[in-house]
């Protein structure tokens, strides 16, 4: 049994300590600046962008030896063909692994690619999975709509309803999967109970930690098997790239890597180098976004034009206690309803001067969106309400601007309704 100290200093034991290849077990910001840095012939401080379609061998003997090493499971820092990776991608993966304290991480072209490839690899016809509600809509669509076409059944249970979760387990259940914090209501998974339930029933556990980032929570430290990310959000951090990642034990990630090499769900060197650059500031961005979002949530909850605010630092939040004991912070997304209807919320959004009207989250620029008229637009009002999406709901992703400016801007916009 290894002892691992998670980010919030609560000691836990897990059966298999996660140590990244680089062996770096340092703080988040040290890892995000240094982990996976390669030495290179140019002595350049930044990782070289190496982006060939294929790689050469000097002779057939080298080729044979390379292939043999691969068969023996050796992780040579090269491949024979670009669809299986390249040095820039490997450097990004190494950094991601160190940040999540995973044995191995794997980069994809988007968060949905990471999620769909991982689930396709782990599940087969006749299997069953359980996911929690309030997950990213496309993830739910993939698990219910697409996986079911391949004979894989899915049950959705309310987040943190461990009785419902246990009751949903069937003899063919393979894995349980949740998001934390969730999109858009910032619900927090009780990660300790989720991991324990998976272990008791010998199920694989997966957590989409996009909204948390390793700065606020490291699911693997709590005994979760795999963590997935939309790296498009906080990990990239600048609203300028699409990427996804999965991290966890080597034997699981290696299988997903092989599957990725077959289906070609790979990222590219340019995106990997942008991600490496974005990751360098993960700690300072998240520290600021955690603080600013908390201040904004407090401001909104005291504002007479605001009906409800969802942010876990507020005592009114359903997982306030879980947040305090398991999470270091809650990230930059604050959701709230205004007093009024769909048009009232539209007027507030249009009156805002600083955040840009766009979906996505987690970047340097504040973004604002109204789920009812974008992510859930084609659903009827009653279908939306069944999913908890109110017409007057606004999702605000706090960037790194000065929080005083963001609050003054919100105040003037709210005062126009
Ligand atoms: C929690 C979560 N997971 C996964 C995704 C999908 O990521 P991507 O857009 O990079 O495919 C998103 C996108 O918004 C998300 O919010």
Residue among 112, 133, 206, 219 to mutate when testing ligand 1 (max atoms within 8 A of CB): 112
Residue 169 sits at φ, ψ, to 5 deg, of -70, 130
Residues 12 and 28 in one domain: yes
- pLDDT at residue number 15: 43
Domain end among 229, 249, 279: 279
Q: Which atom of ligand 1 is nearest to the CA of 244?
A: 10
- How do residues 279-303 score in pLDDT, each as one tens digit? 999 999 999 999 999 999 999 999 9
Q: Is 179 in the pocket of ligand 1 (CB under 6 A)?
A: yes
8 has pLDDT over 70: no
Domain end among 233, 250, 279: 279
Looking at 187, 233, 257, 288, which residue is catalytic?
A: 233
Q: Is 309 in the pocket of ligand 1 (CB under 6 A)?
A: no
The residue written with tokens 């894989």 in the block is 152
Sequence-distant (≥ 6) Cβ neighbours of residue 32 within 8 angstroms? 95, 99, 279, 280, 281, 282, 283
pLDDT-based confidence at residue 375 (cuts at 50, 70, 90): confident
- pLDDT at residue number 321: 97
Q: Is 112 in the pocket of ligand 1 (CB under 6 A)?
A: yes
Residues 108 and 201 in one domain: yes
Query: What is the edge-to-edge ordering of all strands in the sheet holding 173-179?
Result: 104-108, 244-248, 226-230, 204-208, 173-179, 128-132, 153-157
Residues 300 and 349 in one domain: yes
Looking at 83, 137, 277, 347, which residue is catalytic?
A: 83
Atom 7, ligand 1: residue with shortest CA distance: 111
- Mean pLDDT across the chain: 91
56 within some domain: no
Q: Is 230 helix (H, G, I), strand (E, B) or coil?
A: strand
Per the structure, the count of domains in the chain is 2
Question: Minimum mean pLDDT among 18-27, 288-297, 315-324: which range?
Answer: 18-27
136 is known as an active-site residue: yes
- How do residues 122-144 score in pLDDT, each as one tens digit? 999 999 999 999 899 999 999 99
Atom 10, ligand 1: residue with shortest CA distance: 111
CATH for 312: 3.90.1150.10
What six digits make up the tokens of 352? Answer: 């805002």
225 within some domain: yes
- pLDDT at residue number 12: 32
72 within some domain: no
- pLDDT at residue number 271: 97
11 has pLDDT over 50: no
The span from the CA of 359 to the CA of 131, in Å, is 23
CATH for 36: 3.40.640.10
What domain range includes position 261?
2-51+86-279
Tell me the mean pLDDT in the region 312-319.
97
Q: Is 183 in the pocket of ligand 1 (CB under 6 A)?
A: yes
236 within some domain: yes
- pLDDT at residue number 19: 56
The residue written with tokens 């948390």 in the block is 212
Q: Which atom of ligand 1 is nearest to the CA of 112?
A: 11
Residues 240 and 312 in one domain: no
Domain end among 279, 303, 333: 279
Residues 254 and 395 in one domain: no
Q: How many CB atoms lie within 10 A of CB 280?
A: 16
74 has pLDDT over 70: no
- Distance (angstroms) between ligand 1 centre and the Cα of 231 equals 8
Q: Are 391 and 374 in contact (CB under 8 A)?
A: no
pLDDT-based confidence at residue 68 (cuts at 50, 70, 90): confident
90 has pLDDT over 60: yes
pLDDT-based confidence at residue 70 (cuts at 50, 70, 90): low
57 has pLDDT over 60: yes
Q: Are 190 and 322 in contact (CB under 8 A)?
A: yes
- How do residues 209-249 score in pLDDT, each as one tens digit? 999 999 999 999 999 999 999 999 999 999 999 999 999 99
CA-to-CA dists, residue 87 to 50, 58, 91, 406, angstroms: 6, 19, 6, 40
71 has pLDDT over 70: no
Residues 158 and 179 in one domain: yes
Residues 37 and 175 in one domain: yes
Question: Minimum mean pLDDT among 20-24, 84-88, 153-157, 367-371: which range?
Answer: 20-24
- Its pTM stands at 0.93
Sequence-distant (≥ 6) Cβ neighbours of residue 278 within 8 angstroms? 235, 236, 237, 238, 241
253 within some domain: yes
Residues 255 and 301 in one domain: no
pLDDT-based confidence at residue 391 (cuts at 50, 70, 90): very high
Q: Which atom of ligand 1 is nearest to the CA of 210?
A: 1
Atom 3, ligand 1: residue with shortest CA distance: 230
Q: Is 207 in the pocket of ligand 1 (CB under 6 A)?
A: no
pLDDT-based confidence at residue 23 (cuts at 50, 70, 90): low
Q: Is 232 in the pocket of ligand 1 (CB under 6 A)?
A: yes
233 is known as an active-site residue: yes
Residues 144 and 256 in one domain: yes
Residues 182 and 247 in one domain: yes
């Amino acid at each position: 049994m290894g002892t691992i100290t998670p980010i919030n200093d609560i000691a836990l034991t897990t059966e298999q300590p996660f140590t990244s290849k680089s062996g770096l077990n340092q703080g988040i910001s040290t890892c995000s600046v240094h982990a996976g840095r390669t030495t290179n012939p140019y002595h350049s401080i930044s990782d070289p962008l190496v982006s060939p379609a294929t790689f050469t061998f000097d002779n057939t003997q080298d080729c044979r030896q390379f292939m043999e090493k691969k068969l023996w499971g050796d992780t040579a820092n090269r491949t024979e063909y670009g669809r299986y990776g390249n040095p820039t991608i490997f450097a990004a993966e190494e950094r991601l692994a160190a940040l999540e304290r995973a044995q191995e991480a794997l980069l994809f072209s988007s968060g949905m690619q990471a999620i769909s490839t991982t689930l396709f690899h782990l599940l087969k016809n006749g299997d069953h999975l359980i996911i929690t509600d309030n997950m990213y809509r496309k993830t739910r669509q993939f698990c219910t709509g697409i996986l079911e076409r391949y004979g894989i059944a899915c049950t959705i249970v309310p987040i943190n309803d461990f009785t419902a979760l246990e009751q949903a387990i069937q003899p063919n259940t393979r894995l349980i999967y949740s998001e934390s914090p969730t999109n858009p209501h910032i619900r927090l998974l009780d990660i300790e109970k989720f991991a324990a339930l998976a272990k008791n029933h010998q199920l694989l556990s997966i957590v989409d930690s996009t909204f948390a980032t390793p700065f606020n929570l490291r699911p693997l430290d709590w005994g979760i098997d795999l963590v997935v990310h939309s790296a498009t959000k906080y990990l990239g951090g600048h609203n300028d790239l699409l990427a996804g990642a999965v991290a966890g034990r080597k034997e699981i990630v290696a299988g997903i890597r092989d599957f990725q090499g077959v289906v070609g769900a790979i990222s590219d060197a340019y995106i990997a180098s942008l991600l490496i650059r974005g990751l360098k500031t993960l700690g300072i961005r998240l520290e600021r976004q955690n603080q600013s979002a908390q201040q904004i949530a407090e401001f909104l909850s005291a504002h007479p034009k605001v009906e409800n605010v969802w942010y876990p630092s507020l005592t009114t939040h359903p997982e306030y206690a879980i947040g305090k004991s398991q999470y270091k912070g809650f990230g930059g997304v604050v959701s709230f309803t205004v007093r009024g209807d769909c048009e009232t919320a539209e007027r507030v959004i249009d009156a805002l001067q600083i955040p840009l009207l766009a979906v996505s989250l987690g970047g340097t620029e504040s973004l604002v969106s109204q789920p009812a008229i974008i992510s859930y637009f084609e659903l009827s009002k009653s279908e939306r309400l069944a999913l908890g999406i109110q017409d007057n709901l606004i999702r605000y992703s706090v960037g790194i601007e000065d929080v005083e400016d963001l609050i003054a801007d919100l105040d003037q916009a709210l005062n126009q309704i």
